[in-house]
Amino acid sequence: MPKKQGFLRRARLVNGDQFNRVFQRNQRSRDQYFVVLARSNHLPYARLGLAISRKAAGDAVPRNRLKRLVRESFRKTQTDIAGLDCVVMARPGAAQCHGTVLLKSLDNHWAQVARKCEA
């Protein structure tokens, strides 16, 4: 049976202190859809925090769709960005965009923050 690839609790930023740590000192990547903040966490795995506001994404259905897309993209690339805490914020208009465009945008962000945090 294949190994479970869910979004485990240890792979999440779960409290305000963890989010604030990323917000205070970070490497940033942004485009017209997302702002991704990242910081080294000195752990052997990556962690993700989502800050998808109603202002940026609208009502619950499009906001939850964006969250699912971000979590799926993170799940696929978390081994490439191991050791980073990442916070993803959606920008206005992201919810109206097609999913493949958003996934490509996120792939670029993961690569960019990994490169910036290495240096």
Domain ranges of the chain: 9-118
pLDDT at 1: 44
The one-letter amino acid at 8: L
Q: Is 41 helix (H, G, I), strand (E, B) or coil?
A: coil
Q: Whole-model pTM?
A: 0.89
DSSP labels, 46-106: -EEEEE--HHHH-SHHHHHHHHHHHHHHHHHHTTTTTTEEEEEEEPTTGGGS-HHHHHHHH
pLDDT at 31: 93
Q: 23-73, pLDDT tens digit by residue?
A: 998 899 999 999 999 999 989 999 999 999 898 888 999 999 999 999 999
* Beta-bridge partner residues of 35: 30, 89
Q: Per CATH, the architecture of 9-118 is what? A: 2-Layer Sandwich (3.30)
